[in-house]
């Protein structure tokens, strides 16, 4: 135990990081006011000053109190950073004064990205016209431009005047599904707008930073070189992702194959790429000697190359983390100081969280740090379990040990976010990682030698051959029997408990601590108990859900582990739609069977769990002389050609639900009818999926 405490004292940033993260999490969920945080911070500061003024013998006696006070101060700093990061707290945020129809002056803050039906970009708001008076404003919005061959799409730095009403970013609301609105809010994005050429006016093309313009130009040039010498579109898309993290041209099927085999980190720019470049720089610069000005010129050159690559790749948290780590290593070596990698890792995480505390909820951030922490903590002990004198076997075992070490802490994160586990990930990574390294070096060589057409053509052909072989191997591994365990229901609490089990079990192995093994057993029991309770609960569940699937009717009745759905007959034949919208709900509720009870008909009326439910599609008329039918829920979908007032003559409903197959303009008209008739209503396209416990 004492050895562990000694090691922990050598990682000062580890304690600082944990306290800072605790403050971030507290503020994110509790949302304490600054009027509360500042007085608490003042009290803590006064107590620390008083402790410093005490005689030495008293300070030593209460050293634990001083340490706790410092960590509490760091946690409060985390709270304040989160408070200040929330743009909705700022007075100049345009959303405070925005009214429908207000004019906005905004600058396109990134090159537009091509989507299937539009071009997408993020813009920074500079000012807003409120009551015909222009006022400075801050904030970001998502812009969608119409694809028009005759119109010039605004590039980075273009300042435009927007005179179309913004729309709030809404989530689909399907249980267990991806929450797009929350994802955007983590990036301080709350509004979006679809712009046709007549909806905006270009004011200037001179905005933006010259530095970023140069970087974007450099990236565009690199992409042009890749497409020129790698004509295969699918291969070029993977090459661009591997070199610069540019993923807009990736083939979806191939990307899924990378994810299913556990090698998606190859095309998601990460520390592995930077480590390869760092290794190459070390080998090249080692031959230059270390005398005179070279002592500082070499580290400065290495840092310049690493950070240029980091910025060109989009400065994702995973690669920024690596850049900060290598910066600490390079500067430490330059001044002759020893470094501890785990402390550098904690320092890089701290720097990133100070810059943006919401990175803590970013899946890439979590996976990156979990993988590197696992390698730092488990690689050496695991590698030393097997010793061999054969160089080839030793290299294979090194790759295996690195892959297994990286999976130790990433496993809970992968199960929580992706609900699947690639069985053959070790074998796939043993082949793909070294091959992707060769391809990365070849791509760098291609960019450098692009001026020499014969050499660049030869290099492009080599990259294409290697890439085709790598893709074929990955797709082959994807098709192997039992290659993927999918549909794993895994909650945040289960992920946290699994991390605790791994930590306790590891501590028990290293320190041979019976208490650690007991703690791991207790956590395992709690995890099993939570799972058992969840299974029992889902077997007794009875729910009604109206899914939010664009332009489709989808209603499901859930009874235990069986789902009975009514809606479009083509829904369950469209695997892409099912995987995106329905499968997450089935995983959350442990639905294992699915049966159709009604296809779309003019009207379907059925009773379930004591609730009478009517599903109305197309136009129907009320039989003469009949009184309205009493129903608990009326779901309106399809191509209904009536208004709610006409429908009220057929059904007397307690709750009206407009499903996502209806156009928004029609729903807005129906909502007014509901208000006049004092009917409760729920708009699925606007309010998200409708869920009711029966």
Residue 157 inside a domain? The answer is yes
pLDDT of residue 353: 92
Pair (504, 431) in one structural domain? no
**Better-scored residue on pLDDT, 328 or 214:** 214
Q: What is the pLDDT of residues 611-654, one digit of tens each?
A: 898 888 766 655 555 678 889 999 988 665 667 777 888 888 89
Residue 191: strand pairing partners: 168
More confident residue, 596 or 325: 325
Task: Point out the domain boundary residue: 208, 234, 265.
Answer: 208
In a domain? residue 462: yes
Quick one: average pLDDT of 400-415?
Answer: 88
Which of 203-207, 316-320, 553-557 is predicted with the least confidence, judged by mean pLDDT?
Answer: 316-320
Do residues 98 and 121 both lie within one domain? yes
Residues 614 and 468 in one domain: no
Per-residue model confidence (pLDDT) at position 269: 66
* Domain of residue 112, residue span: 94-208
Same domain, 480 and 562: no
Q: Hey, which bits of 536-658 come out as E strands?
A: 542-546, 554-559, 562-567, 593-599, 603-608, 611-617, 629-637, 651-658
* HSE-CB for 86 with a 13 A CA cutoff: 15
- Mention every residue, 6+ apart, whose C-beta is less than 8 A from residue 369: 321, 345, 349
Please tell me the predicted confidence (pLDDT) of residue 597.
61
Do 344 and 428 belong to one domain?
A: yes
Is the pLDDT reported for residue 434 higher than 80?
yes
pLDDT tens digits, one per residue of 163-211 = 999 999 998 999 999 999 999 999 999 999 999 988 999 999 888 888 8
The DSSP output letter for 152 is P
Point out which residues pair with 564 in neighbouring strands.
557, 595
| Angle in degrees, CA 514, 515, 521, rounded to 5 | 90
The confidence band for 339, taking pLDDT boundaries of 50, 70 and 90, is low
Asked if residue 100 is part of any domain, the answer here is yes
- So what's the pLDDT on residue 512? 81
Asked whether residue 381 is assigned to any structural domain, the reply reads: yes
Tokens representing 15? Answer: 């304690």
Q: What CATH number does the domain containing 184 carry?
A: 2.40.50
Contact, 81 vs 41, CB < 8 A?
A: no
If asked whether residues 579 and 565 sit together in one domain, one would say yes
Higher pLDDT, residue 292 or 52: 52
pLDDT digits (tens, 9 = 90+) for 131-171: 778 999 999 999 999 887 667 788 999 999 999 999 999 98
Cα of 128 vs its chain's centroid, Å = 30
Q: Which of these three, 468, 485, 502, is where a domain ends?
A: 485
Residues 378 and 336 in one domain: yes
213 within a domain of the structure (yes/no): no
High-pLDDT (> 70) share of the chain, %: 90
* Number of domains composing the chain: 5
Q: How sure is the predictor about 1, in pLDDT bands with cuts at 50, 70 and 90?
A: very low
pLDDT over 90 percentage in the chain: 33
**Both 200 and 340 in a single domain?**
no
Residues 505, 563, single domain; the answer is: no
**Tens of pLDDT along 459-500?**
999 999 999 999 999 999 999 998 999 888 888 899 999 999
Mean pLDDT of 375-403: 85
Higher pLDDT: 620 or 212? It is: 212
Kindly tell me if the per-residue pLDDT of 599 is higher than 60.
Answer: no
The answer on pLDDT for 370 being more than 70 is: yes
Per-residue pLDDT, averaged over 8-23, amounts to 85
Q: Do residues 159 and 288 share a domain? A: no
pLDDT in tens, 34-91: 889 999 999 998 888 888 887 777 777 777 888 888 999 999 999 999 999 889 888 8
Length of the chain: 694
Cβ atoms 656, 674 nearer than 8 A = yes
Whether residues 434 and 497 fall in one domain: no
Q: What confidence category does residue 507 fall into, taking pLDDT thresholds of 50, 70 and 90?
A: confident
pLDDT, averaged across the chain: 85
How does residue 288 score in pLDDT terms, banded at 50, 70 and 90? low
Residues 346 and 438 in one domain: yes
Give pLDDT, residue 622: 56
User: In this structure, what token pair is assigned to residue 521?
Assistant: 């057993």
Last residue of a domain, one of 184, 208, 232: 208
């Amino acid at each position: 135990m004492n050895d562990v405490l000694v090691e922990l004292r050598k990682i000062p940033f580890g304690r600082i990081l944990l306290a800072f993260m605790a403050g971030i999490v507290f503020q994110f969920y509790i949302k304490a006011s600054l009027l509360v945080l500042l007085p608490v911070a003042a009290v803590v500061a006064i107590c620390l000053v008083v402790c410093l003024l005490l005689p030495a013998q008293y300070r030593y006696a209460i050293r634990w109190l001083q340490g706790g006070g410092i960590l509490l101060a760091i946690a409060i700093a985390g709270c304040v950073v989160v408070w200040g990061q929330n743009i909705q707290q700022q007075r100049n945020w345009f959303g405070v004064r925005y009214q429908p129809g207000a004019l906005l002056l905004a600058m396109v803050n990134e090159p537009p990205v091509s989507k299937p039906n539009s071009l997408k970009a993020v813009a920074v708001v500079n000012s807003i016209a409120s009551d015909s008076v222009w006022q400075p404003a801050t904030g970001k919005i998502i812009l969608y431009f119409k694809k028009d061959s005759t119109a010039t799409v605004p590039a980075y730095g273009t300042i435009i005047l927007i005179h179309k009403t913004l729309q709030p970013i809404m989530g689909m609301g399907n249980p267990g599904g991806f929450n797009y609105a929350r994802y955007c809010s983590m990036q301080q994005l709350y509004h979006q707008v679809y712009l046709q050429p007549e909806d905006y006016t270009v004011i200037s093309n001179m905005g933006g930073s010259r530095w970023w313009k140069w970087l974007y130009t450099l990236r565009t040039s690199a992409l042009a070189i890749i497409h020129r010498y790698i004509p295969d579109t699918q291969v070029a898309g993977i090459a661009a992702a591997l070199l610069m993290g540019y993923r807009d041209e990736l083939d979806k099927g191939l990307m899924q194959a990378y994810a299913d085999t556990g090698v998606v980190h190859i095309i998601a720019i990460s520390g592995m790429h930077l480590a390869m470049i760092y290794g190459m720089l070390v080998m090249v610069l080692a031959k230059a000697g270390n005398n005179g000005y070279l002592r500082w010129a070499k580290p400065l050159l290495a840092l310049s190359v690493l950070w240029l690559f980091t910025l060109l790749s989009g400065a994702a948290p995973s690669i920024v983390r690596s850049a900060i780590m290598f910066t600490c290593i390079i500067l430490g070596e330059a001044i002759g100081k020893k470094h501890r990698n785990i402390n550098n890792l904690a320092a890089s995480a701290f720097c990133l969280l100070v810059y943006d505390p919401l990175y803590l909820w970013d899946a890439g951030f979590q996976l990156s740090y979990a993988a590197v922490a696992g390698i730092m903590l488990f690689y050496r002990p695991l590698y030393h379990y097997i010793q061999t004198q054969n160089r080839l076997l030793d290299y294979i075992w090194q790759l295996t040990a690195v892959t297994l070490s990286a999976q130790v802490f990433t496993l809970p994160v992968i199960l929580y976010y992706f609900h699947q586990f690639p069985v053959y990930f070790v074998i796939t990574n043993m082949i793909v990682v070294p091959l992707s390294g060769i391809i990365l070096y070849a791509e760098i060589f291609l960019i450098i030698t692009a001026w020499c057409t014969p050499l660049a053509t030869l290099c492009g052909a080599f990259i294409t051959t290697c890439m085709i072989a790598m893709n074929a191997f990955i797709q082959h591994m994807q098709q192997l029997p039992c290659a993927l365990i999918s549909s794993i229901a895994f909650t945040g609490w289960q992920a946290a408990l699994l991390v605790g089990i791994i930590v306790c079990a590891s501590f028990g192995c290293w320190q041979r601590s019976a208490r650690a093994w007991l703690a791991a057993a207790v956590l395992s029991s709690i995890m099993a108990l939570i799972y058992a309770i969840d299974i029992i609960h889902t077997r007794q569940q009875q729910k009604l859900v109206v899914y939010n699937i664009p332009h489709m009717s989808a209603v499901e009745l859930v009874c235990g582990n069986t789902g009975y759905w009514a809606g479009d007959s083509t829904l369950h034949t469209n695997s892409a739609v099912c995987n995106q919208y329905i499968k997450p709900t089935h995983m959350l509720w442990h639905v294992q069977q699915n049966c159709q009870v009604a296809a779309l008909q003019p009207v379907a009326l059925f009773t379930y769990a004591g609730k009478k439910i009517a599903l109305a599609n197309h136009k129907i008329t009320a039989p003469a002389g009949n009184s309205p039918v009493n129903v608990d829920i009326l779901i309106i979908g399809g191509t209904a050609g009536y208004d709610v007032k006409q429908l009220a003559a057929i059904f007397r409903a307690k709750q009206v639900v407009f499903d996502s197959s209806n156009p928004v303009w029609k729903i807005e008209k129906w909502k007014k009818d509901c208000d006049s008739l004092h009917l409760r209503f729920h708009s699925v396209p606007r309010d998200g999926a409708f869920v009711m416990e029966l």
